[in-house]
Amino acid sequence: MGVPSILENRQQSIVFKGRKKQEIRCETDSEAGCVSQRACVYCGARVVLNPVADALHLVHGPIGCASYTWDIRGSLNSGADLYRNSFSTDLKEQDIIFGGEKKLTAALDELIPQFQPPLVFVYSTCVVGVIGDDLDAVCKAASLRYGIPVKPVQSSGFIGSKSAGYRAACDVLFQLIEPPQPLEKDTKRFRLNYLGDFNLAGEAWIIRSYLERIGVTVNVVFTGDSRYEQIRGAANADLNIIQCAGSMHYLAGKLQEAYGIPCLSVSFLGLDDTAETLRAIARHFNDPSISEQAEALIAEESARVMPAILKYKSRLQGKKAAVYVGGGFKAISLIKQFREIGMEVVMIGTQTGRKEEYEKMDSLVNEGAVILDDANPAELERFMLEQGADLLVGGVKERPLAYKLGVAFVDHNHDRKHPLSGYAGAVNFAAEVYSTLGSPVWQAVQGGVRHGRV
């Protein structure tokens, strides 16, 4: 069987570290027929907004778009759980012909009195963008009728990629934020917003507990386990820290512009990043007691997890990883995290990475590593094999491919059920990598499928 060819139009989206300098092509539309792993604008918007736990999330569109996204993400919540329902206007042929505005109004009129949400998000999908429903007008009218914000999310799938959806979501979040309460003179408070954590498997709770331990208050998390009330008050923070930059940079920028809230890019993935982040926050607040408590936390937590991590590292040293994830932030963190457990990343790619993120990846990986934007299964297959990867990090769609190629696999997707953030997460990560790379199954299958006698 020949090695699958790389399509001509894809060649500029694939670069090798160290070979002749070539800029990676990224942030472009997917090539037709390429089995891109990308999702759509609506998906991006849903990722960002869905964790708002007390909001009613209504998808205006045909059933599929809602069906495929019902409760597929592992954002945890405390209390309110309206967000775990999938509401859809379930547009049918007639609605496509005559317009879906009436149906949307009817749905809002039924759902708002029934569930009494403090906030409604109405997502537009591809067809809605084409049939020209006036989402703004319908939402505005409902908002007036019920006295709650009913926010249209402009997430028609074809107007860009997932990142366009992030932006649409940030626009809506920004509209919900009210000007800050006037501050008493000289009050010292250390209060921040934590952007870009969706509380998958309780990750935002872990980070909030760290911050509280060093004397910093979390005003609101965007958007993991958040509530409308908290979002409204987001401007009452002194700092924004952004973890998933791809989705939240835009909102941080808007908050800085409007309310002068400074922002800091952070990462809580891996031991080094977590420690560095806590120190950066302490430096920002420039307060000796925070610094002290941060150092104490770093020392205590590292000491607690180091033995476990070293144990795994001894078994993982020298193995090679391939990474294909959604955004650039996660990709960059993973290169560092693998290094912490003794592994090198030999293939790295994302669905929606930005130019500066790819430059960062290039600076982190070793000579010869391949970097891909918007890769397809044929390319993943080829480069995993060519680069001799022992393991792939990816999402659900990539898992069966890795397994069929005899490559170990780590889930780094939104539906995972164990936290990967902070110190607890660093151990989980090492344990998961070991659970797949260290499994005896790979030895059992090594001989191939044929019996010795046939």
Partner 1 sequence: MGEYNRDLSQNPCHMCMPMGGILALKGIEGAMPLLHGSQGCSTYMRRHIAEHFNEPVDVASSALNEKGTVYGGKANLKKAMDNVRRVYQPKLIGILTTCLAETIGEDIRQISSEYQAETECDCRIVTAATPGYGGTHTEGYWRMLRELLVQLTAPVEKHERINLIVPAALSPADLRQIKQTLALFGAEYTLLPDISETMDRPYEDCYGKMADGGTPLAEIAQMAGAVATLELGGPVDAKLSPGQLLQDSYGVPLYKLPIPIGLANSDQFIEAISTVLNKPVPAAICRERGLLMDAMIDAHKHSFQVRPVLFGDPEMVFALAGFCAENGMFPGVVATGGGSAGWRKAVAELLADSMNPLDVIEETDMSIVRARSEANQVNLAVGPSVGRYLEEQADIPLVRIGFPIQDRLGAQRILSVGYQGTALLLDKMVNCLLERKHKTYRSDLFQAYYQEREVARHEL
Q: Which residues, 76 to 105, sit near partner 1 by CB under 8 A?
A: 85-93, 95-96, 103
Q: How far is the CB of 149 from ligand SF4 (least distance, A)?
A: 22
Q: How far is the CB of 57 from ligand SF4 (least distance, A)?
A: 14
157 lies in the binding site for ligand SF4 (CB under 6 A):
yes
Mark the segment that binds ligand SF4 (CB under 6 A) among 60-68, 111-119, 287-295, 431-439: 60-68
Q: Give 19 or 92: the residue with its C-beta nearer to partner 1.
A: 92
Residue ranges in 239-287 assigned as alpha helix (H): 245-259, 271-285
18 lies in the binding site for partner 1 (CB under 8 A):
no
- Tell me which of 14, 66, 120, 148 binds partner 1, using CB under 8 A: 66
163 lies in the binding site for ligand SF4 (CB under 6 A):
no
5 binds, among partner 1, ligand SF4, none (CB under 5 to 8 A by kind): partner 1
58 bridge partner residues: 87, 122
Q: Give 96 or 364: the residue with its C-beta nearer to partner 1.
A: 96
Mark the segment that binds partner 1 (CB under 8 A) among 59-67, 167-175, 278-286, 359-367: 59-67
64 lies in the binding site for ligand SF4 (CB under 6 A):
yes
Q: Does a cis peptide bond (omega within 30 degrees of 0) precede residue 223?
A: yes
Say how far apart CA 125 and CA 44 lie, in whole Å: 12
176 binds, among partner 1, ligand SF4, none (CB under 5 to 8 A by kind): none
Q: What is the DSSP letter of 391?
A: E
Q: Which residues, 19 to 48, sit near partner 1 by CB under 8 A?
A: 29-43
Task: Give the H or E element holding residue 59.
Answer: strand 56-60
Q: Where does 113-272 show beta strands of DSSP type E?
A: 120-124, 150-153, 191-197, 217-223, 239-242, 263-265
Q: Give 4 or 18: the residue with its C-beta nearer to partner 1.
A: 4
296 lies in the binding site for partner 1 (CB under 8 A):
no
Q: Which residues, 90 to 149, sit near ligand SF4 by CB under 6 A?
A: 125-126
Q: Are strands 191-197 and 217-223 parallel, antiparallel or unpaired?
A: parallel
Neighbours of 29 (CB within 10 A): 11
C-alpha separations of 42 from 54, 188, 405 in Å: 20, 40, 32
Say how far apart CA 93 and CA 383 lie, in whole Å: 44
Site for partner 1 (CB under 8 A): how many residues? 75
State CA 108 to chain mean position distance. 29
Say how far apart CA 232 and CA 237 lie, in whole Å: 11
- The two tokens of residue 220 are 């609101």
Q: Give 45 or 220: the residue with its C-beta nearer to ligand SF4.
A: 45
Mark the segment that binds ligand SF4 (CB under 6 A) among 62-70, 178-186, 208-216, 346-354: 62-70
User: Rg (Cα) of the chain, in Å, rounded?
Assistant: 23
Helices (H) and strands (E) counted in the chain, each on its own, are 18, 14
Q: What is the DSSP letter of 52?
A: B
Mark the segment that binds ligand SF4 (CB under 6 A) among 63-71, 131-139, 251-259, 371-379: 63-71
Burial 2-13 (b: 16+ CB within 10 A, else e): eeeeeeeebeeb
31 binds, among ligand SF4, partner 1, none (CB under 5 to 8 A by kind): partner 1
Q: Give 50 or 236: the residue with its C-beta nearer to ligand SF4.
A: 50
Q: Which residues, 373 to 412, sit near partner 1 by CB under 8 A?
A: 376-378, 381, 395-397, 399-401, 403-406
**Contacts with ligand SF4, residue ranges (CB under 6 A):** 40, 42, 61-65, 125-126, 157
